[in-house]
Structure 1
Amino acid sequence: MGMPATIPAPIALSPRVVVFDYGEVISRAPSADDRAALLARAGVAAPDAEAFWAAYWAHRDELDRGTLPIADYWSLVADEIGATWSDLDVHELWAIDHRSWLSVDPGTLAVLHALRSGGTRLALLSNAGPDFGGWLRHGSFAPLFEAVFVSGELHAVKPEAEIFEHVMRELGIGPEDLLFVDNKAVNVDGAVAVGGAGHVFEDAAGLEAWLRALAA
């Protein structure tokens, strides 16, 4: 059994609101085992893995926007790599893929708790299909956030201005109070483009340093 994790000293940034991405910020990236399991179930041999991942990501924005049903998404992936999958195959591919994104990074969670204990308002904004809504709203970390925004429910994705403007309206803030954290620079640029400030996440230590500098 490992040592109990500790929560850092509070970080107070009120009236600013810190809006967090989910994937690869709060969650960890899918592991090598996760990726291997998906390739195996898809029937993709190692030499063809690169083509599979290219097809996997090619239509992800449409899936995350909520305009492409899950079955249609996997059909497009199959078409691009020359695979044939039954409806039952697709159910399993979806489940393996979905589970691979359900994890937490304890370092990021410690920072979230420090912000919360400092009275800082928090929200979550994820590019994800509507099938992730339950996990994001009802997982153990969900009470840390006053609002959860899922792109697949809003039919808009980061880095589009529309989704950041929606978030600010719902939170009742102007761009000067928007602090956005994402692992993708293009998404952070989207927040900056509407007048907010942002941090490109690499690790929890860098995130905490950025937030404490703002608090100081």
Structure 2
Amino acid sequence: MSLSLPGRVVVFDYGEVISRTPHAARAALLEATGLDADTLFPVYQELRHDLDRGDLTVLEYWRAIAERTGRTWSVTEVHRLWALDFTGWFEVDPEVLALVEELHDGGTRLALLSNAGFDFGDPYRRSPMGSLFETVVVSAEEHVLKPDASIYHETCTRLGIEPSAMVFVDNRAENAAGADAVGAVGGALHLGRRTAPVARGARGRRLTGGTAHLLTPSRFLRGSARYHRGIVDDPPSSDHHMPAAHTVSCLTPRCAS
């Protein structure tokens, strides 16, 4: 039987949830720019918020990085850097994408909610992966970033649901907290960079007492599905109730969400 969550809509983040961390692309960026990681990536991360909010174009973003790091890049050079960075985000985790497909095939409604620039919208929607999602919400197109409440409400409006129907899957604690603030509260997965996932609440509270259960996104969602079908009495946490929605986040540092 395919995995399904009746009456729920699973909303996924993309970067480092469905996609893998682009280690090779980051190494290639360092080589192409001639910068070290401590010089490039703090600026990359800081300015990324403006790019993902739609306040900067791709060209403006990379030119701002150049100015902050003492470089001068032509359009041709910027295009090369953009391509290295952009394509690096499209290597997906096949196990997670297979889980998304299984949910879709089981009849569960799905959506994508990503903090990303304008350049990600069409690739998300027109890729094979995009066929699995009912709607795709991109922060730059809305001119607002997670964890602002309005982007969660916009996602729910497009889907025609209340937040109580949403199962939210993200990799950042602050985005889980943003979902929590609009009613999407419950079990969160904080995925350490080199450690197994640990079930926690949206505010970082362990849900399992002294020994936390180790949960992957698959185990978390399958546990939720078993609860909805009445196979088990409790959702995959120790709260002994089904919260308004589940949030999933992690502590892995990243530059796009």
Tell me if both proteins adopt one fold, taking TM over 0.5 as the criterion: yes
Q: C-alpha distance in 1, partners of 2:126/2:114?
A: 14
What's the counterpart of residue 39 of structure 1?
30
The SS at the match of 1:179 is strand
For residues 186-201 of structure 1, the aligned pairs below 5 Å read 186-197=174-185, 199-200=188-189
Partners of 1:185 and 1:214 lie apart in 2 by: 20
**Alignment length (residue pairs):** 204
What code does the residue aligned with 2:25 have? D
**Greater Cα offset, 203-212 or 72-81:** 203-212
Residue in structure 2 matching 1:29, options 18, 21, 28: 21
Amino acid aligned to 2:216: G
Distance 2:185 2:129 in 1: 24
Identity percentage over the alignment? 48
Deviations 1:119-173 (A, max 9, x none): 1110001111111112100111111111111111111111110100100111011
Q: 1:17-166 maps to which residues of 2 (within 5 A)?
A: 17-31=9-23, 33-44=24-35, 48-166=36-154
Corresponding position of 2:241 = none
Number of the residue aligned with 1:3: none
Tell whether 2:173 aligns with 1:185. Answer: yes
Aligned to 1:4: none
| Alignment check: 8 A CA contact 1:18 1:122 kept | yes
**What's the CA shift for 1:37?**
1.1
**Higher helix fraction (1 or 2):** 1
Q: Which residue does 1:209 correspond to in 2?
A: 219
Runs of 4+ in 1 over 4 A off after TM superposition: none
> How far apart, CA to CA, are the structure 2 residues paired with 1:180 and 1:133?
20
**One-letter code aligned to 2:140:** G
Q: Which moved more, 1:76-85 or 1:127-136?
A: 76-85
Q: Which residue of 1 aligns with 2:161?
A: 173
Q: Which amino acid aligns with 2:37?
A: A
Kindly indicate whether structure 1 or structure 2 has the higher relative contact order, using CA contacts under 8 Å at least 6 residues apart.
Answer: 1
Any idea what SS the aligned residue of 1:13 has?
Answer: coil
SS of the residue corresponding to residue 59 of structure 1 reads helix
**Deviation, structure 1 residue 89:** 1.2
Structure 1 counterpart of 2:51, one-letter code = L
Alpha-carbon separation, structure 1, partners of 2:99 and 2:146: 23
Structure 1 runs not aligned, ≥5 long:
1-8
The offset of 1:42, in angstroms, is 1.2
Q: Is the 8 A contact 1:188 1:200 kept in 2?
A: no
Does the residue aligned with 1:12 lie in a helix, a strand or coil? coil
**Runs of 5+ unmatched residues, structure 2:** 198-214, 228-257
C-alpha distance after superposition, 1:40-88 (max 9, x if no partner): 11122xxx32111001101101101111111211122112211121222
Q: SS of the residue aligned with 2:216?
A: helix
Q: Does 1:16 align with 2:5?
A: no
Q: TM-score, normalised by structure 2?
A: 0.75
Q: Is the 8 A contact 1:178 1:197 kept in 2?
A: no
